[in-house]
Chain A
Amino acid sequence: MSNNNVLFERLYAEFYPMVHHVCVGFMKGNRELAEDLAQETFINTWRSLDNFKGTSSYKTWIYRITMNTCLKYIRDSKTKNQVPLDQNSKLLSQDSSHQDHGDAHQELYQAIGQLNEIDRLIIMMVLDELEYKEIADVVGISESNLRVKIHRIKKSLKEKLKNE
């Protein structure tokens, strides 16, 4: 087995739960789509293995790929005839079979789901306790910009929840 395959197996075993969880949050609790997205993320991870420069941790690196794969999904769904995410979550709420054990966390996913895609991904990294420096490194913005954004996201979340 090649070195890349050994490394990939290790990364897949270690980070799949993290990636899957972010994808579930990004997909507003839709576990079927999240599983596809998580697998797509790891396919992209395998394809990017040779690009890992060691300047960040594997966790940050995989977070970058996850974020880019999620954003790519959104872009593609806007141009292809895929069901948009908002519509997906509406369909989901009408079909209880899709919700299974995700039901208990629906409140969380619905709250996060009200944010735009970038803010949603940022807040999930905050919840996952990534340091601000790491999050800034995933998104590619300065730490000070990130702090401003997180402040705005919190404010926006508070207002959205108050209006419910």
Chain B
Amino acid sequence: MSDILDDFKGQWDAAKKDSAKQTVSAKDLVAAAQQKMRSAVLMHVGNTAVLVVTLVGICLFFIYVAPLQEVLSHIGMALMIGGLMLRILIEFHSIYRSTKIDLSDTAFAVNKSYMSFYTYRKKIHGSVTIGILIAYTVGFYILLPEFGNYFTQTQIILLALSYLLAAAIFGYSIKMAIRKEVKLLNSLMDIQQEMTDGEGLKG
């Protein structure tokens, strides 16, 4: 190695001698890794559990509180339940895809996998979730006329308004998630650009 790196090489080797010894034992690190894996699983399960509980709650509501009979209401129920079920399936698929990223692969391949994953996430948080939210909202408002058989007018107005509020909060969280994913994607594209600014690549 000639030129400028010769000067750095000496400093690099000297610095290497000063490099720290382990402050954590291998056993503790394994425990930390296991704990981290458990936390990741719990976080994913927690997110999905919220959707599952909502789904179960809605089903119970339609069975015990407001057993709607009209065809239009059945369409509304199908839109709401179907939308939620689709969202749960997508969430499971997303978890599966995230676990498939192998950090011991080449940096180029890992970056590509992350790009593909976050492009997929952006799509989920974007068009897919917005589509599901619209279907869910249409489904909910289709039910309102028959709700008149089970609730007072004031209760129905409150239900409609509280749904609007919940939808607004959910919409905002989608916007934030998309913004985060776009940031990540831009960062990944920058890295990809830095890696590929030469000639031919191997996969």
Interface residues of A (CB under 8 A from B): 5, 8-9, 12-13, 16-17, 20-21, 24-25, 31, 35, 39, 42-48, 51-52, 61, 64-65, 67-69, 71-72, 74-75, 78-79, 101-102, 104-105, 107-109, 111-112, 116-119, 121, 123-124, 126-128, 136-142, 144-146, 148-149, 154, 157-158, 161
Contact = CB atoms under 8 A, between A and B. Distances in A.
Nearest to A6: B26
B188 A102 contact: no
B158 interface: no
B8 interface: yes
B111 A141 contact: no
Contacts of B109: 140
12 contacts: A24-B15, A35-B20, A43-B33, A48-B103, A51-B104, A64-B107, A68-B103, A71-B111, A118-B195, A123-B5, A138-B106, A140-B107
A65 B201 contact: no
A68 to B, nearest CB: 5
B179 to A, nearest CB: 9
Given A21-B16, A39-B24, A79-B184, A117 B199 contact: no
A154 B3 contact: yes
B18 A46 contact: no
Nearest to B188: A75
B183 A78 contact: yes
A21 to B, nearest CB: 4
A140 B106 contact: yes
A81 to B, nearest CB: 12
A145 B200 contact: yes
B37 interface: yes
B53 interface: no
A107 B12 CA distance: 11
Contact of A47 (B33, B114, B203): B33
Contact of A68 (B9, B24, B32, B107): B107
Q: Which 6 A-B pairs have the closest CB atoms?
A: A140-B106, A140-B108, A145-B198, A105-B15, A48-B104, A127-B12
B191 A117 contact: yes
Contacts of B4: 154, 157-158, 161
B103 A140 contact: no
Interface string B129-147: 0000000000000000000
B97 interface: no
B174 to A, nearest CB: 16
Contacts of B12: 25, 108, 124, 127-128
A141 B191 contact: no
Given A42-B29, A69-B103, A127-B8, A21 B15 contact: yes
A162 to B, nearest CB: 10
Interface in B47-94: none
Interface in B145-203: 180, 183-184, 187-188, 191, 194-203
